[in-house]
Amino acid sequence: MDLSSTSEASRKVTDVNKKYADISLNDGDSGTSADIEESSSSDVSSSVDKASLLGMEADGEQTETRSPVPTSKRHREEKVSSFPITMPRELTERHPLQSRWALWYLKGDRNKDWEDCLKQVSLFDTVEDFWALYNHIQLASGLNWGSDYYLFKEGIKPMWEDENNIKGGRWLVVVDKQKRADRLDRYWMELLMAMIGEQFEEHGEHICGAVVNVRQKGDKVSLWTRDALKDDVNLRIGQILKAKLEIPDNESIRYEVHKDSSVRTGSMVKPRIVIPQPH
């Protein structure tokens, strides 16, 4: 599925959603992680319906509480029944994705265990809810150093230990610090669109999720796959990834086995595959 073709309609949905919902993901020190935990793209989209069905005005005032008499009730019923007719179809249509996806957020904190810093933010399974969520949260480039986003298939925890990842690995794209402004957000968005839009040919089943690590030493974008020993599959996935992100030919990306990353003590992990492949 080409997600960019639906993004315009989705943006309109998002504009409507924004009117009613307030789930901004600020990465400041204002304790916003609680807001993040409680938010979901489903909440966002349903809030439009709910607000309208409850007879709420755009300013959030409920007609019901002002005048709970029969005429007002009739007025409310009229609103309810006219809602689906008056909403343009492009604002209500939903394009289902093949999988349901969970967005996770990690706010780096050296005083906590790594796993305790990781929070699931939201679940979605339509193109529109993806855009609604994407347009509400901070861009990767706006996150604090040490933060991560993870987008994984529902049911797969974004960690090496999960049974779906334990034998897997990742394609790692290191973002050149000098080119961060041009590349980081573009790489992350293109990767998400390729992944949820099932752009990896017949290899979608091998994909677990994607990660962006926001780091002062150099940001990283990676795509996690299920089986590090399936070299042919992983190579093809890597080639598609490199093409989708438009990574220049002379720049390499590498595939690392999670087991190697998890036992690593300082030095770089020796990659299992590199693209372009050495002659």
Residues that bind ligand MGP (CB under 6 A): 114-115, 159-161, 213, 215
User: Residue 156: which of 229, 214, 221, 207 has the closest Cα?
Assistant: 207
Closer residue to ligand MGP (CB): 61 or 115:
115
To ligand MGP, the closest distance from the beta carbon of 18 in angstroms equals 31
User: Residue 41: which of 131, 158, 142, 107 has the closest Cα?
Assistant: 131
Residue corresponding to tokens 């093809």: 236
Closer residue to ligand MGP (CB): 199 or 213:
213
* Maximal C-alpha separation, the chain: 81
Closer residue to ligand MGP (CB): 37 or 161:
161
To ligand MGP, the closest distance from the beta carbon of 141 in angstroms equals 16
User: Residue 47: which of 25, 19, 24, 26 has the closest Cα?
Assistant: 19
> Which residue number places its CB atom closest to ligand MGP?
159
Residue 172 forms beta bridges with which residues?
222, 254
Angle between helices 7-20 and 127-136 (to 10 degrees): 60
Residues 6+ apart with CB under 8 A from 1: 95, 97, 98, 127, 197, 198
To ligand MGP, the closest distance from the beta carbon of 57 in angstroms equals 46
To ligand MGP, the closest distance from the beta carbon of 216 in angstroms equals 10
To ligand MGP, the closest distance from the beta carbon of 150 in angstroms equals 9
Q: What is the dihedral of CA 172, 178, 181, 187, to 10 degrees?
A: -20
To ligand MGP, the closest distance from the beta carbon of 42 in angstroms equals 27
Cα(246)–Cα(243) distance, integer angstroms: 5
Closer residue to ligand MGP (CB): 16 or 271:
271
To ligand MGP, the closest distance from the beta carbon of 215 in angstroms equals 5
Closer residue to ligand MGP (CB): 55 or 209:
209
Closer residue to ligand MGP (CB): 50 or 264:
264
Closer residue to ligand MGP (CB): 38 or 109:
109
Q: Are 148 and 215 in contact (CB under 8 A)?
A: no
Rg of the chain over all Cα atoms, to the nearest angstrom: 22
To ligand MGP, the closest distance from the beta carbon of 156 in angstroms equals 12
Query: By 3-state DSSP, what share of the chain in percent is helix, strand and coil, each rounded to 5?
Result: 45, 20, 35
Cα(168)–Cα(259) distance, integer angstroms: 8
Tokens of 162: 């999960």
Closer residue to ligand MGP (CB): 78 or 154:
154
Cα(194)–Cα(2) distance, integer angstroms: 8
